[in-house]
């Protein structure tokens, strides 16, 4: 089981890349630490900040998220809804990212970690003489709640 990431870990990762942990970055990162496994857009983060009476503006949130994803502290994802989503990048560089189940109705995103594609990846790599570093899978459909609503 992976070690839980702390603010000290994130501060060290920033410093290793020659960046400071500004108060704004710390506040943004604290949101992700408190919502592990959630996939948050810039607007989601800004909304949480406003609920907490923070004065950090949306432009600062966007800049922080872009920087933190550029230096691999956050993972930036596109689920096809026109909004980038972010989550803490907790994976080891040698491991595959987890995969996602995306509800087409409510937009809920769930993760699953089973890497059933490992044999396929090895087969493709051997046949094509292509060194595969990683893959990402997104399944689109309807979550259990939306399925129930469709049946009503």
Comparing CA positions, the residue from 111, 48, 115 lying closest to residue 79 is: 111
- pTM given for the model: 0.67
What's the pLDDT band for 148 if we cut at 50, 70, 90?
Answer: confident
Domain limits for position 20: 1-90
**Domain identity same for 128 and 74:** no
Q: Which residues are annotated as a binding site for Zn(2+)?
A: 103, 106, 143, 146
Give the number of domains in the chain: 2
**Domain identity same for 5 and 48:** yes
What's the pLDDT band for 120 if we cut at 50, 70, 90?
Answer: confident
CA distance linking residue 70 with residue 76, whole number of Å: 9
Q: Which residues are annotated as a binding site for Fe cation?
A: 118, 135
**Domain identity same for 63 and 7:** yes
What's the pLDDT band for 68 if we cut at 50, 70, 90?
Answer: very high
What's the pLDDT band for 1 if we cut at 50, 70, 90?
Answer: very low
**Domain identity same for 104 and 73:** no
**Domain identity same for 78 and 103:** no
**Domain identity same for 67 and 121:** no
Write down the pLDDT at residue 63: 95
* Residue 122: alpha-carbon gap to chain centroid: 26
What's the pLDDT band for 64 if we cut at 50, 70, 90?
Answer: very high
**Domain identity same for 27 and 59:** yes
**Domain identity same for 84 and 140:** no
**Domain identity same for 26 and 8:** yes
**Domain identity same for 122 and 70:** no
pLDDT in tens, 23-56: 999 999 999 999 877 889 999 999 999 999 999 9
Query: DSSP strand E in 12-141: where?
Result: 74-78, 84-88, 99-103, 109-112, 138-141
**Domain identity same for 19 and 80:** yes
**Domain identity same for 57 and 1:** yes
Q: Yes or no: say if 87 and 45 are a contact pair by the CB < 8 Å rule.
A: no
What's the pLDDT band for 105 if we cut at 50, 70, 90?
Answer: confident
CATH classification of the domain holding 27? 1.10.10.10
Q: Which residues are annotated as a binding site?
A: 103, 106, 118, 135, 143, 146
């Amino acid at each position: 089981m992976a070690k839980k990431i702390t603010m000290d870990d994130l501060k060290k990762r920033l410093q290793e890349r020659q960046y400071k942990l500004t108060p704004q970055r710390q506040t943004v990162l604290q949101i992700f630490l408190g919502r592990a496994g959630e996939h948050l857009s810039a607007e989601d983060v800004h909304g949480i900040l406003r609920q907490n009476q923070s004065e950090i503006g949306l432009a600062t949130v966007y800049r922080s998220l872009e920087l933190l994803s550029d230096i691999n502290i956050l993972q930036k994802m596109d689920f096809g809804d026109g909004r980038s989503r972010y989550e803490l990048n907790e994976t080891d560089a040698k491991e595959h990212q987890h995969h996602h189940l995306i509800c087409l109705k409510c937009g809920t995103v769930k993760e699953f970690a089973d890497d059933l594609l490992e044999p396929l990846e090895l087969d493709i790599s051997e046949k094509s003489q292509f060194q595969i570093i990683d893959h990402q899978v997104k399944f689109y459909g309807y979550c259990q709640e939306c399925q129930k609503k469709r049946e009503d």
